[in-house]
Amino acid sequence: MPLSHVDARGHAHMVDVSEKPATVREAVAGGEITMRPETLQQIQAGGLPKGDVLAVSRVAGIMAAKRTPDLIPLCHPLPITSASVEFSFRGPATENGPAAVEIRARVRCTGVTGVEMEALTAVTVAALTIYDMCKAMDRGMRIEHVRLIRKRGGQSGDIVLEEERADEG
């Protein structure tokens, strides 16, 4: 299958979507940032000097979704109608791994191309913000498993790469 962002001469180009019909598009992405149990406890308690880590990270993720075309060179600007970032916790440490903040972003629009990049960007920037706000206490944090969970709408139809949790849309 040829790459859509590369022309016949091998040059990068923005895909022409002008003939595509506008439909409702939605994407859900996920990721996590692992950390020491003490760091997770401080995040949950709101006890970090830089402030409410989750509130700041949520806003950062939403802002990042809206600014994705400024970061990803060939990404189309889209009229995002909804963007949300939610967090859940795994910890202190379990058989499933170290303590972690799990991140889910959901982005919607009515447009001619999908919002997968916006959802993935939201998750990544939310995780980076958590790292930035907590790095003085835990430099061993790791951002991991950033991925598309599902998308719907558009010519390719629905794609479900993993089941969502019961508490999600």
Q: Which residues are catalytic?
A: 132
Task: Quote the distance between the C-alpha of residue 51 and its chain's center.
Answer: 22
> What tokens were used for 37?
């149990």
Residue spans of beta strands (DSSP E) within the chain: 23-35, 80-90, 99-111, 142-152, 159-160
CA distance 169 to 160: 13
Considering all CA atoms of the chain, what is the largest pairwise distance in Å, rounded to the nearest integer?
Answer: 55
- CB neighbour list of residue 157: distance below 8 Å, 6 or more residues apart: none
- CB neighbour list of residue 36: distance below 8 Å, 6 or more residues apart: 98, 99, 138, 140
CA-based Rg of the chain, rounded to a whole angstrom?
A: 18
Would you give the DSSP letter of residue 39? Answer: H
